[in-house]
Amino acid sequence: MSITLRINGQNRVTAAAPETPLLYILRNDFELNAAKCGCGRAQCGDCTVMLDGEPVRSCVTPAAAVGKRNITTLEGLGSISKLHALQQAFIDEQAAQCGYCSSGMIISAKALLDTHRSPTEEQIRNALAGNLCRCGTHTRIIRAIQRAAKALA
């Protein structure tokens, strides 16, 4: 039996068992390694991807629960030659140290900016409340999201 997933605009087929977490399929089957496994228990946000624009924890999302929804990972946001405004802003603000949290942070920020074009700092903080950064770059991350919001306005 196989499962077809719509990932970054393409149909991808996996033979993984239906209960397999989406995170494992992205990384192990399709080499989409941006989403990370931090805790594996929906506690850190490192594995965040979007399902039809909603940020979800892919470490606790079984493949069978995805259905026909569109999966967006960091790899689907921009390209090497044309970065998404959020990716560029994270570089410009140097909003990473180890970078382990960055993919989840950017995906959560993307979901926010898709619905709030000019978010307040409080809205940004609330949107990222479930994304942890062990390196303490939160201040720069918030600045990067504010910079991206201006660039996209």
Residues within the interface to ligand FES (CB under 6 A): 37-40, 42-47, 57, 59, 96-101, 133-135, 137
Helix axes 138-152, 102-115, angle to 10 degrees: 40
Which residue number, 46 or 75, has a Cβ lying nearer to ligand FES?
Answer: 46
Shortest Å, Cβ 43 to ligand FES: 5
Place of tokens 């239906």: 18
* 55 phi and psi angles, rounded to 5 deg: -70, 135
Which residue number, 117 or 125, has a Cβ lying nearer to ligand FES?
Answer: 125
Which residue number, 26 or 112, has a Cβ lying nearer to ligand FES?
Answer: 26
Which residue number, 13 or 129, has a Cβ lying nearer to ligand FES?
Answer: 129
Structure letter (DSSP) for residue 97: S
Strands 10-14 and 3-7 turn out to be: antiparallel
Shortest Å, Cβ 117 to ligand FES: 26
Instruction: Compute the half-sphere exposure of residue 27: CA atoms within 13 Å on the CB side of its CA.
Output: 16
Shortest Å, Cβ 26 to ligand FES: 12
Structural tokens at position 15? 């033979």
Shortest Å, Cβ 48 to ligand FES: 7
